[in-house]
Amino acid sequence: MTTSTGGRCDLVSVEVSVVFKGAFMRVLSWFLRIIGVCAVGLLLAGCSAVKLGYSQLPEITYWWIDSYIDTTDAQSRRLRAELDALAQWHRSTELPQIVLMLQRMQRLAPGPISPAQACTEFEGVRERFHALAVRSEGLILWLAPSLSPAQIDHLAAKYAKTNTAWEADWQRGTPEDSLKRRLKQAVERAEMLYGSLDQPQIELLNSELAASSYNAKMLASERLRRQDDILQTLRRVTAGNMAPQGIREALKALQLRLLTSPVPAGRAYSETVVRENCALFSRLHNSTTPAQRARAVENLKSYEDDFRALIASR
């Protein structure tokens, strides 16, 4: 989709991740991808076709889920209804919170931002994500036990396919190739917020990324762990020998393991990445010119206006 807003439709979807890279990077699993797709998708409503884009999100999310589990006709009908209800809840409850978040960012943008301030805003994003996760529990508690062995096998095959693509993107090539790719993404995302970066700012990003704790092997290990955890849990809760309360507890425990790695090394890595990216954002922001910061405020205000229009149109 192209708009006269200079790519704001794409920018809204990555704006928060630019500031707090890693918030959704841990969401590499099916259950949380259901939630994550909804969350990111709802943010896409910041394009010029606000009402149209927002109204299509349940349908887009439905087709994404269907590609992973190949829903039956009965599942499809209920899933569509559940996603419609989720979108309506998000519009009325969460969009006002996102507006407040954008207002806070606008107040911060003109001045320097410390790593602690960046991490505070990251926690705000995580709270919104958690609220969406809680609201989606009913959908998960209904859908997961309804899956057939064939659907779980379909999910496993889909994981294998996406893992092959992920490996090609992030685990092949030299460390220099990986750094170039990461730098390209970082520059593109930063420029969507601030406008063009100068060479010293690009070099700052390059040096920060080169010195970071980024570890593709760790990411791959956690990705595979989550997927295996999901598949094993689904097979347990669909075996037909668990009481409803046991199913609820198993799925709740799974969700917690997906949000926070039970593996000490994985958990420590995640926490380190968050700290490093808060610091990275702080250093990049503090290197920006008054004009770049004014551009950031203007963009953030535009997103706020778009979300306000969505709230008013419900």
What distance in Å separates the CA atoms of residue 153 and residue 282, rounded to the nearest whole number?
Answer: 44
Please say whether the dihedral angle defined by the alpha carbons of residues 139, 143, 144 and 145, taken in this order, is positive or negative.
positive
Q: What confidence score (pLDDT) does residue 13 get?
A: 36
CB 36 within 8 A of CB 133: no
Q: What are the pLDDT digits (tens) for 203-249?
A: 999 999 999 999 999 999 999 999 999 999 999 999 999 999 999 99
State residue 54's pLDDT score: 62
- For 259, residues 6+ apart whose C-beta sits below 8 A from its C-beta are 26, 32, 133
- Asked if 121 contacts 105 with a C-beta cutoff of 8 angstroms, the reply is yes
Check residue 71 and give its pLDDT.
Answer: 94
- End-to-end CA distance of the chain: give it in Å, rounded: 23
3-state DSSP of 104-153: HHHHHCCCCCCHHHHHHHHHHHHHHHHHHHHHCHHHHHHHHHHCCHHHHH
Residue type, 144: A
**Euclidean distance between CA atoms 217 and 195, whole angstroms:** 33
| pLDDT of the residue at 52 | 58
**CB crowding 189-198: b at 16 or more within 10 Å, else e:** bbbbbbbebe
Q: Which two tokens stand for residue 294?
A: 């004014």
Residue 98: its pLDDT value, please? 85
Query: How far apart, in whole angstroms, are the C-alpha atoms of residue 124 and residue 23?
Result: 11
Q: How far is CA 258 from CA 33, 42, 230, 254, 270, in A?
A: 10, 22, 9, 6, 12
Output the pLDDT for position 53.
64
Q: Which residues of the chain have pLDDT under 70?
A: 1-55, 314
Asked if 58 contacts 253 with a C-beta cutoff of 8 angstroms, the reply is no
d(CA 33, CA 3): 27
Residues 6 or more apart whose Cβ sits within 8 Å of residue 137? 251, 252, 255
> Which tokens belong to 38?
């909804």
How many Cβ atoms sit within 10 Å of the Cβ of residue 241?
8
Q: Confirm whether pTM is higher than 0.85.
A: no
